[in-house]
Amino acid sequence: METSIEIEVRPTEIDVMGHVNNAKYLEYMEWGREDWYNKVGLPFDEFTGMNIGTVTVNININYRKEARLGERLTVNTVPLRKGRTSYVLRHVIDNERGERVADADVTSVTIDLKTRKSVPVPDALAEPFEK
C-alpha cells in the first residue's frame, strides 16, 4: 500500500542557505512512515500491544533539488521489501511542480520491547509487503 501526505515548508525548517535543512527531510519521512503505519492499521498502540517496537537502522537518502519556504511537498511512502526481522520503506518527496526533491530507502528492524532484541516481523506488518 502506498500512502501520501502533503507538507508546506515552514520558516523553522529553513537553514542559512535559504532552503530546507537536510535534517528536516528525515522528519518529513518519519511523518510519512507514521502515516503509512496508521493507514495499514498499525498505529503505535497496536505495536505496543504486540510488545513490538520498530527501530530505524539505516537510511540512504538522496537530496535531488532544494525546497524553499512555502513550497508544498508530497511525501509518498511505499513498502519495498521485507526480511526476517527487518523491512524497507521507500520515501519519495516531490514538490508541487512534480520535481523530485529527495528520496530514501529506510530500513527498520522489529524488536521485542522488553528484551530489546530483534524479533521476526509480525504478520500484521508483513502483510502490506506481500500485496
Could you count the other beta carbons within 10 Å of the beta carbon of residue 32?
A: 26
Catalytically annotated residue among 15, 35, 45, 112: 15
Residue 15: active-site member: yes
| Residues facing residue 61 across a β-bridge | 104
Identity of the amino acid at 73:
L
Q: Give the whole-angstrom CA distance, residue 75 versus residue 30.
A: 10
Q: Give the whole-angstrom CA distance, residue 100 versus residue 74.
A: 10
Active site residues: 15
